[in-house]
């Protein structure tokens, strides 16, 4: 990356001398540079961190890949001018959108392959599912519906939910899990098998594209459908961004 940096600030005096004294007598003067050079070196590094981060962001914006998230010294709310150790920048949402499409495709395929009836296989249709973005987990945030893959970024601490809109999904998944181990569909107790939801995610969560995300299946009451009939809650896919994903990172 070619840089055209302005002159770094000088934070020490161009010349500084210290008188050497012993028992009240002066024995001459010497340059005292060890502490000053440390101070100037730190200032130079902080200056370079700011400039490299800024110029890389400008360069990415010019090719329609804008910065969507900035982390300074491990904090998302710390301003760039206060950097002391490192900066992390997320550019664009292409990987997030690609991840969403892979999950959709694999959930649909798994339902069509593992559901126990043709009626339940139709539950894999995209019209039966929706994405929601939860910015503040644990604070009553039930998520904002995402349409057309219009997503700014998946910030650390937030997550995406891929949720069914049909209240038969939990029951159908349970039937598929019982069928997976040869148990009667309408028996009691835990199935011990894998439903189509678990099978869909197990095939993809360690792929190269999705290695930077934590993906799991949860049967939720918090995000359950209002007319949910499965007693354990609505089955959803939860996706979280791992801390170290896809950043242009500069360290001091």
The region of weakest confidence among 20-24, 28-32, 71-75, 134-138 is 28-32
Identify the pLDDT of residue 108.
96
Average pLDDT, whole number, for the chain? 80
Count of residues in the chain: 252
Nearest of 249, 245, 248, 250 to residue 98 by alpha carbon: 245
CA distances for 204 relative to 120, 184, 229, angstroms: 22, 29, 28
Identify the pLDDT of residue 250.
45
Contact 57, 71 (CB under 8 A): no
Whether 173 has a pLDDT exceeding 70, the answer reads yes
As a whole number, mean pLDDT of residues 103-123 equals: 94
pLDDT tens, position by position, 53-80: 888 888 877 877 777 777 888 777 788 8
Q: How confident is the model at residue 246 (pLDDT cuts 50, 70, 90)?
A: very low
pTM of the predicted protein model: 0.66
Contact 146, 233 (CB under 8 A): no
Identify the pLDDT of residue 40.
65
pLDDT greater at residue 7 or residue 241: 241
Whether 26 has a pLDDT exceeding 70, the answer reads no
As a whole number, mean pLDDT of residues 38-42 equals: 68
As a whole number, mean pLDDT of residues 12-17 equals: 59
Whether 245 has a pLDDT exceeding 50, the answer reads no
C-alpha neighbours within 13 Å on the C-beta side of residue 210: 20
**74-82 contact pairs (CB < 8 A, 24+):** 76/155, 76/156, 80/50, 80/53, 80/54, 81/50
Contact 45, 9 (CB under 8 A): no
In degrees and rounded to multiples of 5, residue 25 shows phi and psi of -105, 145
As a whole number, mean pLDDT of residues 110-117 equals: 94
């Amino acid at each position: 990356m070619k840089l055209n940096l302005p002159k770094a600030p000088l934070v020490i005096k161009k010349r500084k001398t210290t008188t050497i004294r012993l028992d009240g007598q002066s024995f001459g003067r010497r340059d005292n540079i060890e502490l000053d050079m440390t101070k100037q070196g730190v200032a130079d590094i902080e200056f370079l961190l700011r400039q490299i981060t800024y110029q890389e962001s400008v360069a990415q914006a010019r090719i329609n890949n804008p910065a969507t998230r900035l982390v300074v010294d491990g904090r998302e709310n710390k301003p760039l001018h206060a950097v002391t150790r490192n900066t992390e920048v997320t550019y664009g949402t292409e990987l997030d959108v690609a991840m969403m499409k892979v999950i959709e495709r694999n959930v649909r395929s798994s339902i069509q392959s593992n559901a126990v009836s043709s009626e339940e296989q139709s539950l894999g249709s995209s019209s039966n599912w929706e994405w929601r973005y939860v910015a503040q987990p644990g604070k009553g945030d039930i998520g904002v519906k995402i349409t057309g893959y219009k997503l700014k970024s998946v910030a650390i601490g937030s997550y995406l939910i891929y949720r069914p809109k049909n209240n038969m999904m939990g029951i159908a998944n349970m039937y598929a899990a019982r069928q997976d181990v040869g148990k009667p569909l309408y028996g009691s107790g835990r199935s011990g098998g894998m439903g189509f939801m678990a099978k869909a995610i197990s095939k993809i969560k360690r792929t190269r594209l999705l290695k930077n995300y934590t993906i799991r299946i949860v049967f939720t009451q918090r995000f359950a459908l209002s007319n949910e009939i499965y007693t354990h809650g609505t089955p959803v896919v939860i996706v979280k961004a791992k801390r170290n994903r896809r950043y242009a990172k500069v360290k001091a």
